[in-house]
Chains A and B, each alone.
Chain A
Amino acid sequence: DAKTTQPPSMDCAEGRAANLPCNHSTISGNEYVYWYRQIHSQGPQYIIHGLKNNETNEMASLIITEDRKSSTLILPHATLRDTAVYYCIVMGWSGGGADGLTFGKGTHLIIQP
Chain B
Amino acid sequence: AAGVIQSPRHLIKEKRETATLKCYPIPRHDTVYWYQQGPGQDPQFLISFYEKMQSDKGSIPDRFSAQQFSDYHSELNMSSLELGDSALYFCASSPLAGVDTQYFGPGTRLTVL
Contacts and interface: CB of A to CB of B under 8 A. Distances in A.
A38 interface: yes
Interface in A33-50: 34, 38, 41-46, 49
Contacts of B33: 98, 100-101
Interface string A57-80: 000000000000000000000000
Given A41-B88, A94-B100, A102 B94 contact: no
A93 B90 CA distance: 22
- Provide the main secondary structure of the chain B interface: strand
B59 to A, nearest CB: 10
B98 A100 contact: no
Interface string A94-106: 1111111111111
A105 B42 CA distance: 7
A87 B92 CA distance: 16
A106 B42 CA distance: 8
B64 interface: no
A91 interface: yes
B50 A98 contact: yes
Interface of A: 32, 34, 38, 41-46, 49, 85, 87, 91, 93-106
